[in-house]
Amino acid sequence: MMLKAMHSDWLKLKGKGLWFLVCLGPVGLIAMQALNFGLRYDYLKKSYAADLWGGLLNNIAVFVPIALLMGITILCSLLANIEHHTSSWKQLLALPISRTAVFFSKFAVAAIMLGVSCIVLALGSIALGLGLGFGWALPLADIAKLGFYPFIAALPLLALLLWMCLTLRNQAVPITLGVVLAVLSMFAIAEWLPLTWPLLAYKAQKQEIFLAAGALGGLVVLLAGMVHFARRDVD
């Protein structure tokens, strides 16, 4: 049942341009840092002489949360709009597939696409570092953390925004919320707020706390969304 729902969702994505958007975020981040280091190469190389790769990754990491949350917002809205735009909810929910399977399928599709985006970011970081002449002593563990730790910590926000996008036909509310959260993620706010977790999951000393909070919080919000979606009438 779940596989059928996911297969159906993948088919609906054809020709929608979502894969372009998935790659646009990480490629944009890498391009921005390529410009940053290109314009200030001598200064930045001198500043990070003790750890060139670390300096590069830290510069990228600062902008990962806003790009990630903007990507989550746009992706969730577009996934939901496939059904809202064609008014196909009644037909979809009339099929012998549970509502929870429909909800989880869309969450899984969004998570997989964002996971691909994380891989693109990691590969782009490697390519940029090598292109800047930082050598082959690649900090693979840190690069993997840069790609995936913020994503894991952002799972509660992914589940929340998807929940809102699927249940609200008017996408203005979830999109506005997503944009506001993305902007606020750039500022130093209380650590207990989920919007700060993506950055703290990479930069904090106790990264595991924010990773665990993200995974557990994501599960809780996902289950709540599935229960609500299963009981709610969707137009």
Instruction: Encode pLDDT of 32-66 as tens digits.
Output: 999 999 899 888 989 888 889 999 999 999 999 99
**Phi (first) and psi of residue 73, to 5 degrees:** -60, -50
Domain positions in the chain are: 2-8+19-230
Residue 3 class from Cβ within 10 Å (0-12 exposed, 13-18 middle, 19+ buried)? exposed
Length reported for the chain:
235
Res 89: pLDDT: 65
Closest CA to 80 of 166, 174, 161: 166
SS3 sequence of 76-125: HHHHHHHHHHHCCHHHHHHCCCCHHHHHHHHHHHHHHHHHHHHHHHHHHH
Per-residue pLDDT tens for 113-171? 999 999 999 999 999 999 999 989 899 999 999 999 999 999 999 999 999 998 888 88
The predicted model scores a pTM of: 0.90
- In this structure, are residues 182 and 70 in contact, taking their beta carbons and an 8 Å threshold? yes
Report the C-alpha gap between 125 and 89 in whole angstroms.
Answer: 40
